Every structure is written in C-alpha cells, then in structure tokens.
Amino acid sequence: MVGIQDKAAIVGIGQTRFAKGLEDTELSLACQAISAAIDDAGLAPSDIDGLAMFSMEEGREVEVARSVGLGDVTYFGEIGYGGGAGCGVVGHAALAVATGQCRAAVAWRARKRAAKTSRPWAQVSQRITGHWQWSRPFGLLRPVDEIAILTRRYMHEFGATREQLANVALAFRKHANRNPNATMHEKTLSLEQYLAARWISEPLCLFDNCLETDGALAVVLVSAERARDCAQPPVYVHAFAQSIPMQHQVMTNYFCDDPLVGPSYACARLLWERSDFKPADVPVAQLYDAFSPLIPLSLEGYGFCARGEGAAFTENGALEWPHGRLPTNTSGGGMSEAYVHGFNLVLEGVRQMRGTSTAQVEGAESCLVTSGEGVPTSAVLLRR
Amino acid sequence: MVGIQDKAAIVGIGQTRFAKGLEDTELSLACQAISAAIDDAGLAPSDIDGLAMFSMEEGREVEVARSVGLGDVTYFGEIGYGGGAGCGVVGHAALAVATGQCRAAVAWRARKRAAKTSRPWAQVSQRITGHWQWSRPFGLLRPVDEIAILTRRYMHEFGATREQLANVALAFRKHANRNPNATMHEKTLSLEQYLAARWISEPLCLFDNCLETDGALAVVLVSAERARDCAQPPVYVHAFAQSIPMQHQVMTNYFCDDPLVGPSYACARLLWERSDFKPADVPVAQLYDAFSPLIPLSLEGYGFCARGEGAAFTENGALEWPHGRLPTNTSGGGMSEAYVHGFNLVLEGVRQMRGTSTAQVEGAESCLVTSGEGVPTSAVLLRR
C-alpha cells in the first residue's frame, strides 16, 4: 500500500475573470483557464496528459484536449456532485501523477450560470425525479432552502446567532476588498448592512449566500520530482480525502441521528490520518462557503474546534487576516470573490503556499482546502 | 513515482441475468450486480469504501451506497464515453486501492436500453449539438453508421473481406454457445446465415453488430495483500492504461492522416510499457466488440499482428477456443453474450484467470481486456 503524501505538486494556476453573464461558453472558459495554468507552470499544452474534471461540466475531455492543443492524454476521470468535487479532482489528478498514469495533469472547473448543467437543481426534471421528489414539492426548492433547515437546527441546538454568521460574511468580504480579482473587491460590507439585508431563506439573508459567477479556474499538477524543475515553487498535495458517509442523502441529510454531522467529519478523519499535520498546526484555510453556516459546521468537522463551538469560533475576528487564529477564505471565497463551485478556494490555497495571496499569512507551511459540506465531498491539505 | 503493477486484485465478480426489457431500473440492476460481487468476494457491503462508475449511468454513487448498504465511502469517481470506460473504472478502482484511498472498491456497469442516458446517440439533443452536428444531419445517425465508414476504409486500404468479419462473429457465437449465461447460448450461427443477413449499415450486416442488452455486472477490488485472504483466487490488475489520442474526435475520427489508427494504438503502447508481458505472451483476450471490425483494428492496435493484418489474423480459427492462437471473447462478448458497454468482457477476463470460463484457455497466466475503439478508451492486463 503506497500513500500519495507529497508525491504530487501543483505547479501552475490559471483563471479567467469573474462576472455574471460572460459571453464565452463553459468550454471556452475552461480552455482559457487551463491554458493560463499551463503557461503559469512553464509547460507546453502538449506536455499535459492527464485530465480530472467535474462531471457536471458542459465541455468534455476530448473537446478540452482538442481546443487547448494537448498531446496524447493518458489519464482522464470525472467527479460528480458539483461543489463537493473541487478538491476531489485535484486529488484524483494527484493520484494519477503520483502513480505514473500521467506526467502532467490539469484539474479545473468552468461554470456558466446559463449552462444547462451548472444549476441542476433549477431544472424541472430534478424537482420531480430521484430523491428530490421527496423535498422539492414541499418547498425546499433551492440549495439555500435545504441549508436553511440545517441552520435552524444548528441555532436551536447550539445557540448560534445571526451575528456569528455575519462574522463569516464580513471576514470574507474584508479579504475580497484586498483582492483585485474578487467580484466584491470594491464593495465593503458592514454588520448593519448584513442585518438589514432581505431574507433569501430564513434564517439566511442575502449575505449568507455565495455569489453567482461565470468564470473558470485550473491547476496543473506534476510529480514531486518534476516539480523541482518547474517555473513556480511547488505546492505539494500533502493529503487528500473524499467522503460519502454511510446512508448519506445529498443536501437533505435530515433523516439521521445527527444531521449536523455532515460529510466533513468523515472526510476530516481520513485527511488527518494521512497527514503529518494536525488542525492546530494549520494557520490558514479555504473552506467551502456556498452558505455562511457551512463555515462553523466545517470548522467543527475538520477539528478546528469542538462540536457546537464553530459559531463561537468565528468571534473576535478569528477568520480574519492578518491576526485571526485561522484566516479563512483569504481571497474572499465563494461569498465575496467568486462562486465557481469552490475551485477558487483551491487556487487561493496555492497562492497562500506560494506566498502570493493578497491576504498572505506569513510563514504558512500548510493550508487546508475543503469542498462542499452536505454533499459527497473532498478535501486537500496543501503544503509548501 | 510508483506504478500500480499487481498492487490491486479483483476478488469478486457478480452479474444479473441478461435480457431485453428487464423490468428493474438501472440503479436496481447495478445494486444487484454489486451485491453479488461483494458476496462472491466473501465481503460484507459495509467493507466497500470505493466506487468507480460510468458517468453515463443513471444511478448515482449515493444511491448505490445507500441501497447496497455500504459503509463510509472514501473514494468515488466516474469515467465518461460509454464503451470506452469499462477497463477505465476497473483501473481507477485499482489506483484507489493501490494508493490506500480506499480498502475495497467496486467498479460496475448497469445498462438498461430504456434508460435515458444509456443510448445518448439516440437523443435528439445529441444530434444537433456538439461535434455530432457535423455528421448526424448528413446520415451518420447511429454508431453503426460511423463504424461502417471506417470499415469501408479498412476494406479499401487492406483488402479486408466480409468473410473475415464473419470469422469474428462466428467465433464469438461459438463461445456463447458454450456459455449458459449468454443471450445467444441456444442459437448457432453459420457463415451462410451471416452472409444472408440484412444490412444494418453497409458493409455491416446484422451479425456485425453487438446485442442490445439490459443487465449489470460488477467487480470488487482490494489490495494485493488483502486479496490473499479473500474467498476467491486473486486476479491482479497487472497493467492499466487509458487513452485519448491527440486531436481525437469521438466516433468520427476521420479528419486525420490515418483514421484507422484509433485510440487502441496509444493505449496499447502505455499498457505494454507498464507490463512484464508482451502481446506474444498473452494467450487469451477480451476485446471490445460493439462491431465486428473493431476486432481486427484492436488486434493491430494492441500489437497481436502488424498494421493491416488484423482481418487476416482472424483466419484459421485464430480467435476460437480451444485451438486458436488467441481465443477472444470467450464468453461470447458483446456480440453474443451481452452488450453491457463491454463490462462483461472484464468479468470473462477474471473467469479466465480463475480457470472458470466455459471456454477456458488452459494454463493462461494473463488476459488482455480492452474497452471501446474509436472513443476515449482504456485497457487492463489481468494476471493470475
């Protein structure tokens, strides 16, 4: 049995601009981000022979390979479940290069809101088939409705408050205000604005929700050996884990003993088992933030605090750069930089390890990046 | 860099019955086959923590996990491109167990013709979007039409004949006649019947086409160490390769210097590089046979004969058990056992290595299994 600890490294990152209503197709956005990541790595398109993608994406492997001008591809695979897949595709690419199935892999996510596949919950067919037939007709129409239920339970059980959720939104907005590429770069956010915002699904207001963004991001991975010769400092995939907990139900995991114990718990257990670091060693994190309450839940799941203490953890600027215990989503995250199914979190993790974040945590040796909570998920621990 | 040679083994196989018009859903069929494979391995459902599936499949990982009663799942991934994915999901499962991302993985394919996703080419949307818009409106309506074009070129360039294609169909039918689980178990096929059959897409007649089958098959993989303690003799994944050749176009790869050099060439090069065996060492093969001409093309691509000699290779019963040079598709294959996107070929490869085929090649130490030709593909070399 051979683990893949530090055997693969991210050596290239690339992204498009972020906006609502970009004209390019999802495929074109993907190709632009991938090309930029290949350039950043100092490689040629023909060097790329591995592809790890979201199955939800419109452009397929052959189209990406043909359009970007890749060489013979010797590894390709997909992961489902949207926001749960971000770290998953990075990890699968790492597995592929670590085992020699390919020499240089790209993992990416392009997302265009108008694309048919990018908001599956918004399609009629998804409301009346599969497990959603048990909740959609009864009012849980959007992901935000599904998470609102969990949030109520969390408030009820542990006394979490709206002010604590605001800590999340405000911290990430401050980080976005430092990041020129963030959608919300120019817009500040105050507690008063947060508390006065309209409900989207009570108890979640406008600012508890992620943005809706068109855009794409990509990373290039090679083996640790090869990474030493690349243009950029290598960022190692120190540990990787995926999780679908037993009897899991996507986004409506209510029918179990403890709905507040989400996939992050099982994913975290594996991740730390495979890691030389412990949560206390990790000085910066990029946590999947489609909705603000996912942050306290993930802080608990990934072991930064005890069960039920995630909301309190956010106080006293704990999530804020530069002085917080755990500066989190230091580019602005899904709530204030861009929502590209969490893939921007991966690139910000890489920047933190390169020392190039606009909210750089000095001397950070490791960064946790997580994907969706409440869905089949994944996480990577990056290392300098 | 660590290869995965012999690091994972198939220790369980399971399948449903094969028929047209089974009543169960694709998900149900998948669960039945997976449960049977877990039983065969002597494991409990809760032992399974890895899932590798066709992205084309209707049932998703969470549903399979919940319905079969799996434990916490720690690896999951998908592969696209239908018939190209069979060996791919086996290989990805092998990667996952070899690297310790999971301890026991299942790979499977369930296919129901009535399922929306199982015949993508038959959907209107697939005729008018993507690359098919360049061929569908001009008469290449079905996969058989696309392969008929290649077949004409092959006949033109190398003098291949219908009698040589018949060698393929007749050999596989003879094997099916020995296999009680084969759809065509009771039906013999003569050269006269073959030559008198109606055209499906000239020069391909009825018997050049695979069956259309509802059914499901699954395999269970564990690490080589653990395999020693399992109920069944381990069948090692000796080598695994995937391929999307440069500038590949799915099923209509006509616009290149040499359309008869398909993905099998690039896939084969990688596979043999990773293997201790050479084609001459391999005494039995399961070659993807959605259409009979794919067999000579694959024989060439995988190096069992020189370019252009695949059709002649089939003569003198070379593909037939027990005396042929390379008994091929010894359960009947896609053309006479069942067409489940080539996954039945994987199980027959395992049976050959276990010594339990109904057309058992005595003393076989290795078996090649390939997936779709003309699409992004994959292959595994199994070892006893």
**Nearest chain A alpha carbon to B6:** A1
Partner-chain contact B77 A88, CB within 8 Å? yes
Residue of B81, B194, B288, B302 marked active site: B288
Interchain CB distance below 8 Å, B63 and A376: no
Domains of chain B from N-terminus onward = 8-115+214-383 (3.40.47.10)
In the A/B pair of chains, how many CB contacts fall below 8 A?
155
Average pLDDT over residues B132-144: 88
- Separation in Å, CA of B261 to nearest CA in chain A: 13
Which secondary-structure segment (H or E) carries B40? helix B26-41
Distance from C-alpha of B214 to C-alpha of B18, rounded to nearest angstrom = 6
Identify the bridge partners of residue A366 per DSSP, sorted by sequence position. A383
- Determine whether the interchain pair A95/B96 forms a contact, defined as Cβ–Cβ distance below 8 Å: yes
Assembly ipTM: 0.96
Q: Test B243 with A92 for CB contact under 8 angstroms.
A: no
- Which chain B residues are within 8 Å of A71, Cβ to Cβ? 246
pLDDT at B124 over 90: no
A227: part of which helix (H) or strand (E)?
helix A224-227
Scanning every residue of chain A, which has its alpha carbon at the shortest distance from the alpha carbon of B84? Answer: A76
* pLDDT at site A383: 98
Contact A4 B270 (CB under 8 A): no
pLDDT exceeds cutoff 50 at B93: yes
H-helix or E-strand spanning residue B125: helix B124-128
CA B19/CA B15 separation, integer angstroms: 12
pTM flag (> 0.90) = yes
Cα dihedral across residues A30, A77, A130, A154: positive or negative: negative
Chain A CA closest to residue B4: A99
Q: Which of A188-192, B8-12, B121-125 has the lowest mean pLDDT?
A: B121-125
Ranges assigned E (strand) in chain A = 8-15, 50-54, 75-79, 104-111, 199-201, 204-205, 215-223, 235-243, 285-286, 366-370, 377-383
Identify the segments of chain A with pLDDT beneath 70: 1-2, 116-118, 124-127
CA distance A229 to chain B (A): 16
Annotated catalytic, A339? yes
What number of helices (H) and strands (E) belong to chain B? Answer: 13, 11
Cα angle: B361, vertex B234, B34; to 5 degrees: 100
Residue B120 has pLDDT above 80, yes or no: no
CB contact under 8 A, A2 and B99: yes
Chain B residue closest in CA terms to A98: B1
Question: Which chain B residue's Cα is nearest to A266?
Answer: B72
Q: Do B1 and A100 touch (CB under 8 A)?
A: yes
pLDDT for the residue numbered B24? 95
Please name which of B66, B67, B30, B373 lies closest in space to residue B219, comparing C-alpha atoms. Answer: B30
Contact B78 A55 (CB under 8 A): yes
- pLDDT for residue B135 is more than 80: yes
Which of B1, B74, B243 minimises the CB distance to A270? B74
Chain B residues within 8 A of A4 when measuring between CB atoms: 99, 101
Shortest CB distance from B2 goes to which of A2, A78, A270? A2
Average pLDDT in chain B: 95
The radius of gyration of chain B from alpha carbons, rounded to an integer in Å, stands at 19
Q: Taking CB atoms and an 8 Å cutoff, what residues of chain A touch B249?
A: 62, 66
Contact A243 B95 (CB under 8 A): no
Q: Is A265 a catalytic residue?
A: no
From A51, A66, A223, residue closest to B247, measured CB to CB: A66
pLDDT of B132 = 80
CB distance A249–B62 less than 8 Å?
yes
pLDDT at res. A114: 75
How far, in Å, CA of B105 to CA of B91, rounded? Answer: 11
State the smallest CA–CA distance between residue A38 and chain B in angstroms: 17
CB contact under 8 Å between A1 and B243, yes or no, is no
From A81, A194, A236, A339, active-site residue: A339
* Minimum distance, in Å, between the CA of residue B247 and any CA atom of chain A: 5
Which band of pLDDT confidence, cut at 50, 70 and 90, is reported for residue B1?
A: very low
pLDDT in tens, A227-263: 999 999 999 999 999 999 999 999 988 888 899 999 9
Percent of chain B with pLDDT over 70: 97
Q: Closest Cα of chain B to A305: distance in Å?
A: 23
pLDDT at residue A1 in the model: 44
R_g (Cα) of chain A, nearest Å = 19
| pLDDT value of position B118 | 63
Residues of B in contact with A92 (CB under 8 A): 77
DSSP letters for A281-331: G---EE---SBTTHHHHHHHHTTSS-TT-HHHHTGGGTTSTTTSSS-BSTT
What is the total residue count of chain B? 384
Q: Which residue has the tokens 């907990």?
A: A245
Q: What angle do CA B59, B62, B67 make, to 5 degrees?
A: 75
Predicted confidence band of residue B136 (pLDDT cuts 50, 70, 90): confident
When CB atoms are compared, the residue of B55, B73, B98 closest to A244 is B73
Cβ of B74 within 8 Å of Cβ of A241? The answer is: yes
β-strands B215-223, A104-111 pairing: unpaired
Surface-to-core class of residue B292, CB atoms within 10 Å of its CB (0-12 exposed, 13-18 middle, 19+ buried):
buried
- Give the chain B residue nearest A270 (alpha carbons): B74
H or E stretch covering B143: helix B143-158
Best to test chain B binding among A76, A226, A270 (most B CBs inside 10 Å): A76
Distance in angstroms between the alpha carbons of the first and the last residue of chain B: 25
Nearest to B171 by CA among B144, B183, B189: B189
Beta bridge partners of residue B222, listed in sequence order: B9, B104
> What is the per-residue pLDDT across B234-278, written as a single tens digit (0 to 9) for each?
999 999 999 999 999 999 888 888 999 999 999 999 999 999 999
Specify the DSSP class assigned to residue A230.
S
